[in-house]
Chains A and B, each alone.
Chain A
Amino acid sequence: MKLNDLAEKLSLRNLTLEIQIKESTCVSKGHASDLLSDVLANAPGGSVLVTIQVHMNVIAVAIHAGVASVIFASGMVPDQAVIEKAISEGLPLYTSKESTFDIAGQLYELGLRGGHG
């Protein structure tokens, strides 16, 4: 599924409008976790990460794990410095008022699967 379409279907707020997302950017995997050690170890490459973890390290860890985009759940919004770092790294960030559980459920319905799915 195209990342742009996914963001629209879930009514996500784009925190990194400066990033031009390529039309061809597609995602088929997802991961939900607030422990960045778990993200490093288990997030599938090219996946969408759903988290309430807004620490600066989320950007470095997401890049390292090859995560394609991060969705902050429960209305969490990271500091501007985190957003700027994401922009400089070309990592699209979104936020949603909905909980991790509900976002993950919607992603699943759209056909995304976890690392073992």
Chain B
Amino acid sequence: MKRILADLHIHTALSPCASEEMIPQAIVRAAIRRGLEMIAICDHNTAGNTAAAEKAAGKDITVIAGMEITTAEDVHVLGLFPDVWVACTVSEKILKTLPEMQGSSKILGRQTLMNAEGQIIGMETKMLAASSAFRLSDSVNLIKRHRGIAVAAHLDRPSFSVISQLGMIPDDISFDAIEISGAAVASSRIQEFYSFGIPVLTSSDSHFLSDIGTCCTALEILEPTFNELVLALRGIAGRGCSVA
């Protein structure tokens, strides 16, 4: 068993709110420099740049293909998937329910699809900042049906979290983990999040290169793979996770 550091919530330039500097190669380099061995790419409502990030990473760092779904209730949920193909399958279903941009990228921000080298290969035409038609329960079911990990994103934040939108975690939803920000880790509120009895992760939710690895999760696993991450969240055979 070894201890590795993972930052499981990083946006690329595809997210309208993320910096243009968030190109796959630069993200991977910054992550390695900060001692991370696993990252997850989670753009808003799409997995469109996960293939590029995985390719850019090569064998130097593990990239998990993910996405940050905005549910119909304006709740952010992370889906982390076994591979890029599965992530993109889910992403297609979500994208179908979003409105078209219709030239509002000047206000909302550019949505750049890239290859591993960071060259622009297209622009996403769906409005990624909008909420999808999938409700929270439907989103979590969709993620789980695709063997994904469902994470309640930035649970401590006053906007777009399960608690801000819905007041509490609904009874019928079983998240695989909850994510809290670095600020919550440092505060006295942290016990409140452990009390849910769900594994607690902390991630940077990076929108800029300088955010990467500013807070991360320590994983006790055999090797940095998706399957090991799943086992760590379930605490199987000595594996585990903790806020770092």
Mark A residues whose CB is within 8 Å of B.
34-37, 39-40, 53, 55-57, 60-61, 64
**List of B residues within 8 angstroms of A56 by Cβ:** 170, 172
How does the 8 Å CB contact mask read for B164-206 relative to A, with 1 for contact and 0 for none? 1111101010000000000000000000000000000000000
Closest chain-B Cβ to A15's Cβ sits at a distance in Å of 19
Contact B170 A36 (CB under 8 A): no
Contact B168 A61 (CB under 8 A): yes
Which of A34, A55, A60, A64 is the one whose CB lies under 8 Å from B136?
A55
Contact A37 B167 (CB under 8 A): yes
A40 CA to B164 CA, complexed, in Å: 10
A34 CA to B166 CA, complexed, in Å: 9
B163 at the interface (CB under 8 A from A): yes
Contact B163 A55 (CB under 8 A): no
How does the 8 Å CB contact mask read for B127-171 relative to A, with 1 for contact and 0 for none? 000000001100000000000000000000010000111111010
Mark B residues whose CB is within 8 Å of A.
73, 135-136, 158, 163-168, 170, 172
**List of A residues within 8 angstroms of B167 by Cβ:** 36-37, 39-40, 57, 60-61, 64
**List of A residues within 8 angstroms of B170 by Cβ:** 55-57
Contact A35 B164 (CB under 8 A): yes
Interface centre among A35, A40, A53 (most CB of B within 10 A): A35
- Identify the 4 closest CB pairs spanning chains A and B, nearest first: A36-B167, A61-B167, A57-B166, A37-B164
**List of A residues within 8 angstroms of B73 by Cβ:** 53, 55
**List of A residues within 8 angstroms of B164 by Cβ:** 35, 37
A3 CA to B8 CA, complexed, in Å: 49
**List of A residues within 8 angstroms of B172 by Cβ:** 56
**List of B residues within 8 angstroms of A35 by Cβ:** 164-165
**Given A37-B158, A37-B163, A57 and B135 touching (CB < 8 A)?**
no
Closest chain-B Cβ to A78's Cβ sits at a distance in Å of 11
Contact B165 A60 (CB under 8 A): no
